[in-house]
Amino acid sequence: MKRLIILGAGTGGTVMANLLRKRLRRAEWAITVIDRDNEHYYQPGFLFIPFGFYTKKDIVKPRSKFLPRGVEFIVAEVDRINPAANEVVFQDGSNFPYDFLIVATGAEIVPSETPGMLDGWRDTIFDFYTPDGATALAEKLKNFQGGTIVVHVNETPIKCPVAPLEFAFFCDWCLIRHHKRDKIELVYVTPLPGAFTKPVASKALGSLLEEKRVRMVTDFNAERIDAAARKLVGYDGREVAYDLLVTVPTNMGSEMIERSGMGNEYRFLPTDPNTLRSKKYENIFAIGDATDLPTSKAGSVAHFQSEILAENVLRAIEGKPLEPGFDGHSNCFVEAGLGKAILIDFNYDVEPLPGRFPFPVIGPMPLLKPSRINHWGKLAFRWIYWHMLLRGRPIPFVPARMKMAGKKRPETGAGPGETK
Amino acid sequence: MPQRQFGTAAVDVDAEGFLTDFSQWTREVAAAVAKEEGIAELTPAHWKVIEFMHKEFKENGQVPSIRKLNKSGVISTKELYDLFPGGPAKKAAKIAGMKKPEGCV
């Protein structure tokens, strides 16, 4: 009996278990999924908690519920991967051999990477990338009377790169509804030169910030946080004062990857951008946030990768050449506040562009423009996530590879759509 | 594709002034680009950074992140900002004749 181990039962790991159990013969292949706990959070839901739309229990279910029959699920802390011996080593020292391994251990926030950040942690400094952080922030926002709220991105890459923008948009909306907007200044601080990494979307999202009276501070790299004086201090000497700091701390891969000596400087696994195989080990693959790929760290990306990864794992098992099928496809709804959302769809080579999705002209969803239908799309997505995406069922009309049909490059500027 | 003349060297650059063909890069080009970026003279400390970036690019095909430079022990992030004021990752890459670092999406 041969064994495939999947490390991590989040979005990527769960989809892979579902897809591969269907395609690997049970008599020949055992599939084992390992995670440190049995709580699967719908991570796009974190954004909604600070504003009281959801609470923690609205977005959590047992991981085991989404794994198919015939897959073994182990809850344990993995100490490291030992790729030379093809085995996973648990914290109690016991080991578990594999023939093939899929790394799906995700990314996490590491506030300790920024000096001073933990000094004000959950006092005047909050995150919304963890269930506890988002819940604590909900309480803080409820009682926040006035002053400056700074929404801060510490370092890229981060999971769901649009989430901090959505937070700023939601914050504006919420403050307007509670008649507090005039008493509160909103500031958006980013290490990027604009609201987003790619020019067309950066302009669209940047003007939306402006419209909502959110002041932008760009190219800002925090050297440290002075929690006592409540200010961010940049490497270039600039300072940004806050009363409440909502930060996205540095994101890194699992510490287990570092203990295994397999990560880059962010603990992400060096991965082939098209085949999704480890750059170093022939029988190790990776999916989702755990990879070092230059695309978004987002559930949609893991979903698009899953189909191609399943094919490549089967090919590797059969000794066939891999299919370089992944194009970096990412797709996300960006909440814009006021009951509207923006939809963006892009890949390694084509930045988010305006147009219609999934069909040209008829859409029904407009790209890169706030609309109500996109907001409903985002809310409906929670159902799609639990019932279709995790099970590895295809989502109608949204293929793994990005389509150009329906997208339009803006006239001005010679071809900024191509970003290499 | 725009071209720029630096002393005796003609180089192809993109809209933001990043070299598109690394083989055209010379130390003379680096010094000229540095001047435009407000760095009067490239010191040995600057060259240490540039050489590390070249080595990384050769080995991994990627422009190294600030974190990588810091972690490799070549230079601390604070010193890097002192050497390349403003945006060190972008400036150092431009002077080193490399493409613009991919801000991850």
What's the CATH code of the domain at A231?
A: 3.50.50.60
What is the per-residue pLDDT for A318?
96
What is the per-residue pLDDT for B105?
45
A243 and A172, same domain (yes or no): yes
Which residue from A197, A235, A330 is facing B81, i.e. has the nearest CB? A235
Instruction: Respond yes or no on whether ipTM tops 0.90.
Output: no
In-domain check, residue B104: no
3-state helix, strand, coil in chain A (%, to 5): 30, 30, 40
A138 and A217, same domain (yes or no): yes
In-domain check, residue A323: no
The angle at the Cα of A252, spanning A248 to A257, to the nearest 5 degrees, equals: 160
The string of DSSP codes covering B44-63 is HHHHHHHHHHHHHHHHHSSP
> In this structure, how many other beta carbons lie within 10 angstroms of the beta carbon of residue A272?
17
A137 and A98, same domain (yes or no): no
In which domain, by residue range, is A128 found? Answer: 109-251
A243 and A133, same domain (yes or no): yes
Which residues of chain B does A198 touch, with a Cβ-Cβ cutoff of 8 Å? Answer: 105
A141 and A223, same domain (yes or no): yes
In-domain check, residue A225: yes
The answer to whether A96 touches A87, Cβ cutoff 8 Å, is yes
Query: DSSP assignment, residue A249?
Result: P
A116 and A247, same domain (yes or no): yes
What's the total number of domains in chain A? 3
Measure in Å the smallest separation between the Cα of B66 and chain A Cα atoms.
10
Query: DSSP assignment, residue A173?
Result: H
Which residues of chain A does B102 touch, with a Cβ-Cβ cutoff of 8 Å? Answer: 197, 294
Chain A CB within 8 Å of residue B59 CB: no
User: What is the pTM for the complete model shown?
Assistant: 0.93
A185 and A313, same domain (yes or no): no
What is the per-residue pLDDT for A419?
40
Identity of the amino acid at A101: L
Residue that the structure tokens 């988002």 belong to: A134
In-domain check, residue A10: yes
Structure tokens at A417: 């759509």
In-domain check, residue B37: yes
Residue ending a domain, choose from A251, A281, A300: A251
In-domain check, residue A121: yes
- Specify burial of residue A128 (Cβ count, 10 A radius: 0-12, 13-18, 19+): buried
In-domain check, residue B28: yes
A246 and A122, same domain (yes or no): yes
One digit per residue, the tens of pLDDT, for chain B of length 105 reads 688 888 778 899 988 889 988 999 999 999 999 999 999 999 999 999 999 999 988 888 788 888 988 888 889 999 999 999 878 888 999 999 988 876 544
- Point out the residues of chain A with pLDDT beneath 50: 413-420
B104 has catalytic annotation: yes
Which residue from B78, B99, B105 is facing A223, i.e. has the nearest CB? B78
What is the per-residue pLDDT for B103?
58
Residue ending a domain, choose from A234, A251, A268: A251
In-domain check, residue B101: no
In which domain, by residue range, is B29 found? Answer: 3-95
Identity of the amino acid at B17: G
Which residue from A192, A221, A266 is facing B103, i.e. has the nearest CB? A192
A163 and A273, same domain (yes or no): no
What's the total number of domains in chain B? 1
| Chain B residue with minimum CA distance to A223 | B78
Instruction: Give the distance, in angstroms, between the CA of residue A51 and the centroid of all CA atoms in the same chain.
Output: 20
A231 and A155, same domain (yes or no): yes
**Cβ of B105 and A330 within 8 Å?**
yes
In-domain check, residue A325: no
**Cβ of A156 and B86 within 8 Å?**
no
Query: DSSP assignment, residue A388?
Result: I
Which residues of chain B does A156 touch, with a Cβ-Cβ cutoff of 8 Å? Answer: 103-104
A115 and A37, same domain (yes or no): no
Provide the pairing of β-strand A214-217 with A222-226. Answer: unpaired
Measure in Å the smallest separation between the Cα of A352 and chain B Cα atoms.
10
A242 and A228, same domain (yes or no): yes
